[in-house]
């Protein structure tokens, strides 16, 4: 993906908090169901132009084309709240989210790396929250 595609995009990286405990406590079948349901919920929550992709494991990426960073941060906060309040196979689920906005000259790796750094900052600051620029 070239940098032209990234212009005016914001990237959100979401990670399910303590997902290993979900698998260890409720089993991998329940863990898989949670991952599938999160994908469906994310698709339903984000805008029609936004792109949702499973990055791997329990991490998902949302790309918000032509969105202001304030809108991406607001979306992240809304997702944290809605996911925490949802019924999840009787399993408590929360996410931490890192948000990075395109900076002129960015490459995919730079944008993803910054979003990932903000994700770890959100986790370090207590989880079930958003951190970004």
The residues annotated with a catalytic role in the active site are 58
- Listed in sequence order, the residues at least 6 apart from 109 whose beta carbon sits closer than 8 Å to its beta carbon are none
CA–CA separation, 24 and 67 (whole Å): 38
Sheet-wide strand order for 59-65: 51-56, 59-65, 9-16, 95-101, 130-132
Residue listed under structure tokens 């949670």: 34
What single string gives the DSSP state of each residue in 6-61?
Answer: HTTEEEEEEEETTHHHHHHHH-HHHHHHHHHHHHHHHHHHS-TT-EEEEEETTEEE
């Amino acid at each position: 993906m070239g940098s032209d595609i990234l212009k005016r995009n914001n990237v959100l990286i979401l990670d399910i908090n303590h997902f290993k405990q979900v698998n260890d406590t409720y089993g991998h079948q329940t863990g898989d169901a949670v991952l599938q349901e999160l994908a469906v919920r994310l698709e339903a929550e984000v805008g029609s132009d936004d792109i949702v992709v499973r990055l791997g494991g329990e991490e998902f990426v949302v790309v918000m084309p032509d969105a202001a960073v304030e809108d991406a941060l607001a979306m992240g906060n809304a997702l944290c709240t809605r996911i925490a309040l949802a019924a999840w196979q009787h399993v408590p689920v929360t996410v931490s989210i890192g948000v990075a906005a395109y900076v002129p000259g960015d490459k995919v790796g730079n944008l993803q790396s910054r979003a990932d750094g903000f994700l770890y900052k959100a986790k370090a600051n207590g989880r079930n929250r958003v951190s970004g620029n």
